[in-house]
Amino acid sequence: MKEIVRLHKVIKEYGKGAVKVRALRDLDLLITSGELVAVAGPSGSGKSTLLNLIGGLDRPTSGQVVVDGTETGALSRSALSRLRLHKIGFVFQAYNLIPVLTAYENAEYVMMLQGKPWAERRQRVMGLLQTVGLEGLEHRYPRELSGGQQQRVAIARALASEPALVLADEPTANLDSKTAAALLDLMVQLNQQKGATFLFSTHDSAVVARAKRRILLKDGQIADDSSGAFGREA
């Protein structure tokens, strides 16, 4: 399988002098193409820090972060932006849709930034909106969609550019249990049918239970990395 993410001896510290906080401690991680990975753990365990480093939103204090063959630590800001644009899709718990754009336009946005031609954008976006169950709603604005529908737009946007990796930060946090279950079904389907590689950070035991691989973080280190059911207590 193709290597998508590799972290080697990653340390991430915040603060200065005596008030430094070590969020990640000598962390090693390998994720390959097609995996569906849930990262669980208590608040302060390092979940968000891990996703931020992999997503190029932050840099490690030391160690290596490699995404789809590119080490991120030495990249300039503009190079990191290009990496995020072409290699990584993001799904945020707050959806982060652009309110003045329709569902179609939000899903299309990243492809426009990439300079993809109109015909390619339309074919892929319409196909994705149909896949996520939003056919016929493409002209609605975020305010006209439910929370679950907005998150489905966010997933379509994340997948539109066909990234190497989709990062989802607490994707079900703002959803009721029924909507969250439907969203999980969708992401499992996209993983199985399209081979999309997903990495979640979550407190939701239902998300952990559906993942193929479950990683438990404690105090900035991997306490368990398996397909077991530990996450139901995380």
Contact 185, 22 (CB under 8 A): no
User: What is the C-alpha separation between 133 and 198, in angstroms, rounded?
Assistant: 19
> Can you tell me whether residue 56 is helix, strand or coil?
coil
Residue pLDDT, tens place only, 3-25: 999 999 999 999 887 788 999 99
Q: How many CA atoms lie within 13 A of 62 on its CB side?
A: 5
pTM above 0.85, yes or no: yes
Domain ranges of the chain: 34-57+79-233
Residue pLDDT, tens place only, 85-133: 999 999 988 889 999 999 999 999 999 999 999 999 999 999 999 989 9
The CATH topology of domain 34-57+79-233 is Rossmann fold (3.40.50)
Rounded to whole angstroms, the maximal C-alpha distance in the chain is 57
For residue 227, the model assigns a pLDDT of 64
Residue pLDDT, tens place only, 168-218: 988 888 788 888 888 888 888 888 888 889 999 988 888 888 889 999 999
User: How does DSSP classify residue 136?
Assistant: T
Task: Give the DSSP letter string of 153-208.
Answer: HHHHHHHHT--SEEEEESTTTTS-HHHHHHHHHHHHHHHHHH---EEEE-S-HHHH
User: What is the C-alpha separation between 25 and 108, in angstroms, rounded?
Assistant: 38
Residue pLDDT, tens place only, 12-62: 999 887 788 999 999 999 999 999 999 999 888 999 999 999 999 999 999
